[in-house]
Amino acid sequence: MNPDYSDSQEKLPDLRPGARLLVGMAIGDAFGAGFENKSRFEITLPDDPISCHVTDRYTDDTQMAIGVTELLVSAKPFTEENLADSLLIAYRRDPRSGYSPVTTRMLQDSKNGSEFLQSLSEDEIRERKSDGAAMRALPIGFIPDLDEVIRCATLSARITHGHPDAIAATVGIALICHERYYLKRSFQEIVQNLPEKIPSLTPEGKEYLKRIIDSGWSPEIILCEHAGYGVPYTESLILLGAVISILQNYGDNPYRVLRESILLGGDTDTTAAITLGASCIHPEKDLPVSLMTCLESEPFGKKFLVHLGNQLDLRFPVTIS
């Protein structure tokens, strides 16, 4: 039976923070999917966002975040097997595009979470440093205890992407959400100290992030050797660098966040899903109503996302003064 959730809000400020996060992710994901894998030099955006909005359907980025969120709201222990089960359930009931060939095989060939966890060898997992784990990290930031945020983000990464860069990116994105949700800090303040708070970040990674933070807005510094292309899905640390820079410079304006995420090129749906989701937790400005209204209304579309996001708020309530 398809879920049925009643909700008619069309404006971002009308929603709770958890709903804003998931709806923001879905909008960024769907909008970004139309530009994915294009060089940043190939992309132009008109003033009217809808005129180039190719699809209203989100992809793997939002679906994996849904899987994480459903585990969090269930109050089940955040274990490897429970997380794998939750990701499998989300995929099987509503298969989405965008997954890498490796992850697609893991999802399609596994009967349960235990089989999913055995799909790759430890060596294969340690070598994976693409952004597949980082894309699902934002909801973990709603966990109230900081050490538990780091533990759960690390665990989430290690079941599929065990390279230190992948773990660092996953933890970093969860920490951004945590500080925005609970402390309502400015993104400028959040990112300034972020490199020091990520336990798995290598010295080279720390220097890279500090260069980004100190440089203002510089796509060349963010993208390094990929400056002629855009954010590569194969390099999770560059994704984290892009997220940090976009939020630091434009985070108070969700629509600007969306535009700059797309214009950076490359893995546009993942970049936009994460940055817009984070920006929408406590937005200073609204998104254009046209972006809200065009998000899919299918069984696992906007109404479902609002309902699930509200459950996340109820599971981890916070009072913001």
267 marked ligand binding residue: yes
Burial label, 5 (beta-carbon count in 10 A; 0-12, 13-18, 19+): middle
The full DSSP string for 21-59 is HHHHHHHHHHHHHTTTTB-TTT----S-GGGG---S---
H or E stretch covering 290: helix 289-293
- 52 within 8 A of 30, measured Cβ to Cβ: no
Task: Say how far apart CA 16 and CA 13 lie, in whole Å.
Answer: 8
55 marked ligand binding residue: no
270 marked ligand binding residue: yes
Find, among 70, 87, 85, the residue nearest to 142 by Cα: 70
C-alpha distances in Å from residue 280, one per residue of 24, 187, 229, 310, 311: 6, 12, 27, 14, 17
Helices within 144-235 (DSSP H only) = 146-158, 164-178, 187-197, 203-215, 219-223
Query: What three-state secondary structure class fits 38?
Result: strand
Find, among 276, 266, 285, the residue nearest to 305 by Cα: 276
Is the CA virtual torsion 183, 211, 149, 147 positive or negative?
A: negative
268 marked ligand binding residue: no
Amino acid identity of residue 264, one-letter, is: L
313 marked ligand binding residue: no
59 marked ligand binding residue: yes
CA torsion angle 61 67 69 72 (round to 10): -150
Q: Which residues are annotated as a binding site for Mg(2+)?
A: 59-61, 267, 269-270
Q: Which residues are annotated as a binding site?
A: 59-61, 267, 269-270
